A and B are shown apart, each in its own frame.
Chain A
Amino acid sequence: MTKIYIAIGLTIALMAVGMSPIRAVEVDKRLVEIEKKRNDLINRIKPAVVSVMGRDPRTKNVIGLGSGVLIDDDGHALTNFHVVTAFGYLAKTMQCGLPDGKLYDCVLVGTDAIGDIALIKLLPATPDQKFPKATIGDSDKLKAGEWSFLMGNPFGLAYDFQPTVTFGLLSATNRYQNVDGRFEYANFIQVDTSANPGNSGGPLFNMYGELVGILGAGPSSRRIRMNSGAGFCISINMVKNFLPGMRAGLAMDHATLGAAMESENDDGVLSRVLVKSVITSDAQRRGLEVGDQLTNFAGKPVFTVNAFKNLLGQFPRGWRVPMTYRREANRVETLVRLMGATQREVDEPKEGKDPKGGPARPVAPPPSGPAAKFYVEKKNFANYYYNDLAQKRVLSKHTEYGDFSKMTGDWTIRLGGKLLTGVAPKPITGAIAIREKGSADGTSPKVLADIDGLDFPLEPLSTKEKPEAFRDPPDSGGFVLAMYHYRQFLVYGEKGFSKDQFYHVGVEPFFPPLGDKPNYMKSMVLAEVFYTKHAGVPGRFYFATEDDIVNGWKRGQLIGMEIEPDKDEDGCEIVFSDYKDIGGGRQLPGKMHVRRGMKKYADFIITSATLK
């Protein structure tokens, strides 16, 4: 009714000044269709947009901290690390509003502090509630000049949690920025879309409604951090690399190569990217030297130092990626394991008094509310509850291929196959016997190995054992010790390893046996990984994430392991395949490919196994 009055009033006013009312233009039908399509798209994707809220420790009021987006129907949502640390400490529990108008309790699951990403989980209001979720897209396909949407809750405007939608252009892709010396945004997407405080952590959607990025912090400027014409969106493809680890409750770390790069010369056309310095690292073990030209990293050509940083910044610590370098006429293609970018302790802002005398940081309140029971504190984890859950999930699936927990007696495994250390493969036979209490003192275990007619006895827990025995047989990196760790894992699980040294770390690339001219990117598979340590020796255990016809693996099977008896040398890696039933519902691999660094040691065939 009011509208009519206004309309009449307006008409009279216009007539009074001798003008006719401005008539609405006829709109092209196609445009109406386009607009409808866009409206439909927004309505389809917006239910997954999250308003992240937290209780201000000073005022005790629940306020908007930022935005987020649901990525599965269990309630997992992505947001920024700087959103969950908005109060100066890492919030363990918070609340999230959804466009359904409801407020949900929510728990921190995992963090990527350098990449500025946090994974949180909304608790369903009813046990069978399924959450709306965004479809995850491929951010590598984005191009500058394409359209996109940002959604979120800028300025905490929406009390009903209806997201604010802003529409704009992708300004650039493959950007690299160090934000405030705190975050490293590698390979990020720049948008000209209006982004304001509170938009942080919100989703960037492409025009197909796929989630392609997470809005991060904006550029530092003399101007206040309002819409500055440049929004930085963390690419969803980077998040994908960190997501499995965050799902497992980890405080993830980014990676360094252990070598710094520089441009050959700073002038003229783009020059070669050369190794400026190398520290003790896997890169050094792979032969990388100062002055070498880096030509390819993780499957992408490297033309500039920035391009290298963009590639490197997308990987978690511990990942192994292909790398190609050139020295004079020689081209070396190799795999390199990346080291951690930071000390793990600095991931979380220090609480309490600043040792440098700065203002005291607020002390994190204990997790509270219904979400608190889903939080377990443990050093170096964002939330150990979810690591424990991930371990149980993997181990329970693994048990489907055999329960070895009762096989605590002596093990004897007979081997055939080929030794690969010589010029030509050489047929060999051998046996590994693990005696539970076979050592000289009669209490600790002993491993007896006969490889190609040579004996390699090892007492893995004896302090008097010769250091080289841990790396026997020569050129294997420690195959005898590896078999002992293997049995520890199968029989004892977590109890077979040092305290707190048995945990899930998400996924890492895993490489099946490689031919003479390997295509690393093509043969690479992603496997779920456990990190272990036993008697000071670190290990890794890899599990297939899916059924793999090429390699003959089934989902959840143990497909490989590694130990590193000497931190300055390449350890022993084993790839398991061709699983066979050995009775009692238990399966053992029929084949074991053993390698050390980039060198093959042997292709073993398990001819018989007696487990007691």
Chain B
Amino acid sequence: MKRLLTITALAIVLALVPARRGHTQTDVTFTKIGEEVNQKVIKVFGAGGFKGLASYGSGVLIDKEGHFLTINSHILDTRDLRIHTYDGTKHHCDVVCREPELDVALCKIKWGARQGEIEHYFDLQTAFKRPPLPTGTNVLAFNNMFQLAVRDDAMTMQRGVVASYAPLYGRIGVFDAAYRGNVYVIDAITNNPGSGGGAITTRKGELIGLIGKELRNELTNTWINYAIPLNAYTEVPDKDGKKIRVSIADMVKLKENYRPAPKRELAKNTSYHGIILVPNVVERTPPYVEEILPGSPADRATTKLKPDDLIVYVEGLPVPDINSFNNILATYGPGAEIKLEVQRGDKLTSVTVKLDKPIGTSKK
């Protein structure tokens, strides 16, 4: 085991050491890369400052006109959006377009009477072409966590490893994320208040993603550190069921002509199981079964649920309370077979329920 750990540690070290010969660990620093990237990352200031919502965030400059990308958040809900660039200059800005499906917003510096120019920015056309980073790749994070930087202060720089490249979707209600595509999960604590919109780069300083919002798993009370890849896209059904593809690349290309994807129909309560739980009276009411509606999917199950059964797992996910049960159920549509683990007395029993369409919907 110890050897395995050593090998893992060495593999990490190997990845960190550039190919140049004669270098030692002590010589290899990210000082120069950090200085370069710092010039392209900005501190964003806007709405917030109440209910524990930060009024500050981060962003990345993407062209000389002063366009920048950040996370689509409450910070942008202001008429006075401001940024501070690396040299301490303060600019007022406008939101150009926002895409809730991607959780990304494009903004632009208001130049006023004198048109200025941004000298340092990320070249997105190159960045869009980069393939996704494989798991285990070393990355750097640049952000303004805890608002530690203002004006010309340098952004916080962190190092981490891509732990996985996977969709956040499927955890809606657990991780309340709007974006359903793939994200980079990072092993470092990158997602703090103010980090959202910051840059995730390779160790050469190449932009690969935007640090996401602060997201907490309500079941395990853990926070997830993730970034939305620059080549992020998602497909959203319009009202005719036709799939519309939305991407950061489109936002950047179309700018003010970009139209956000149509609002997604809420998946909530679109399926019917027929399990009536005890009244949800306290904050964390355990999901005890009160009754099963006759003729409902739950009633038709091979193993039947009984009153006073306690549902402990849904599809392998723990459900400590009624809210989490409902949230997880809401992610399954009609026709889905879900496996429940219920505690009856001191025994665990498996129950499989095939969900139906809600009562009252036509059968066409």
- Interface of A toward B, CB cutoff 8 Å: 24-25, 27-28, 30-35, 37-38, 143-147, 168-175, 177, 190, 192, 207-208, 219-223, 227-230, 266-270, 303-304, 306
Contacts and interface: CB of A to CB of B under 8 A. Distances in A.
Given A192-B158, A269-B88, A306 B150 contact: yes
Contact of A172 (B10, B28, B32, B149): B149
Choose among B6, B17, B159 the residue with the greatest number of A CB atoms under 10 Å from its CB: B159
Contact of B31 (A32, A145, A177): A145
B13 interface: yes
A265 to B, nearest CB: 9
B17 A229 contact: no
Contact of B158 (A24, A28, A171, A267): A171
B14 interface: yes
A24 B148 contact: no
Contact of A229 (B14, B26, B52, B158): B158
Contacts of B155: 172
Interface in B339-363: none
B26 A207 contact: yes
A354 B33 CA distance: 52
B189 A144 contact: no
27 contacts: A25-B11, A27-B14, A28-B14, A31-B13, A31-B17, A34-B17, A35-B6, A38-B25, A144-B35, A145-B29, A145-B31, A145-B34, A145-B35, A168-B159, A169-B30, A171-B157, A172-B155, A192-B156, A192-B188, A228-B189, A229-B189, A229-B190, A229-B192, A266-B90, A267-B90, A269-B88, A270-B89
Contacts of B193: 221-222
B87 A269 contact: yes
A146 B31 contact: yes
A223 B34 contact: no
Given A145-B34, A175-B153, 4 more contacts: A220-B146, A229-B189, A230-B156, A304-B151
A207 B26 CA distance: 6
Pick from B14, B24, B87, B88 the residue with the most CB of A within 10 Å: B88
Interface string B1-25: 0010011011101100100000011
A208 B17 CA distance: 18
Nearest to B32: A145
A228 B192 contact: yes
B154 interface: yes
A221 B87 CA distance: 28
Contacts of A38: 25
Nearest to A168: B159
B314 interface: no
Nearest to A206: B26
Given A172-B156, A269-B88, A270-B88, A34 B148 contact: no
Nearest to B155: A172
A143 B34 CA distance: 10
A25 B7 contact: yes
Q: How large is the interface on B (under 10, 10 to 19, 20 to 34, 35 or more residues)?
A: 35 or more
A26 to B, nearest CB: 10
B152 interface: yes
Interface string B182-197: 0000001110110000
B192 A172 contact: no
A172 B43 CA distance: 15
A221 B189 CA distance: 13
Contacts of B9: 35
Contact of B24 (A34, A175, A267): A34
B31 A229 contact: no
Contacts of B7: 24-25, 27
Contacts of B151: 270, 304, 306
B14 A31 contact: yes
A196 to B, nearest CB: 12
Given A31-B17, A144-B154, A227 B30 contact: no
A207 B158 contact: no
B261 to A, nearest CB: 31
- Leading 3 A-B pairs by shortest Cβ distance: A229-B189, A145-B30, A145-B31
Contact of A208 (B26, B149, B153, B156): B26
Nearest to B159: A169
Interface in B118-152: 145-146, 148-152
A149 to B, nearest CB: 11
Contacts of B156: 171-172, 190, 192, 230
B189 A143 contact: no
B153 A306 contact: yes
Contacts of A177: 148
B35 to A, nearest CB: 8
A208 B26 CA distance: 8
Contacts of B157: 144-145, 169-172, 192
A24 B6 CA distance: 10
A230 B192 contact: yes
Contacts of A221: 146, 192-193
B64 to A, nearest CB: 17
A229 B145 contact: yes
Contacts of A37: 24-26
B1 to A, nearest CB: 8
Interface string B62-105: 00000000000000000000000001111010000000000000
Given A34-B17, A34-B24, A144 B146 contact: no
Contacts of B189: 192, 227-230
Nearest to B151: A304
Contact of B89 (A33, A190, A208, A268): A268
Nearest to B38: A144
A510 B197 CA distance: 49
Contacts of A219: 145-146, 148, 192
Nearest to A28: B14
B29 A24 contact: no
Contacts of A269: 87-89
A171 B41 CA distance: 14
A267 B52 CA distance: 27
A223 B193 CA distance: 10
A425 B71 CA distance: 70
Contacts of B52: 222
Contact of B87 (A30, A145, A223, A270): A270
Contacts of B188: 192, 229
A146 B29 contact: yes
- Residue among A170, A172, A175, A270 with max Cβ neighbours from chain B (10 Å): A172
Nearest to B6: A35
Contacts of B24: 33-34, 37
Which one of A38, A230, A267 has the highest number of Cβ atoms from chain B below 10 Å of its Cβ? Answer: A230
B25 A175 contact: no
A34 B192 contact: no
Contacts of B154: 144, 172-174
Contacts of A207: 25-26
A330 to B, nearest CB: 26
Nearest to A223: B223
A408 to B, nearest CB: 60
Contacts of B33: 145
Contacts of A25: 7, 11
- Which has the most chain A C-beta neighbours within 10 Å: B25, B31, B33? B25
A147 B25 contact: yes
A175 B148 contact: yes
A220 B54 CA distance: 13
Nearest to A173: B154
Contacts of B223: 223
B193 to A, nearest CB: 7
A30 B90 CA distance: 46
B159 A192 contact: yes
Contacts of B190: 229
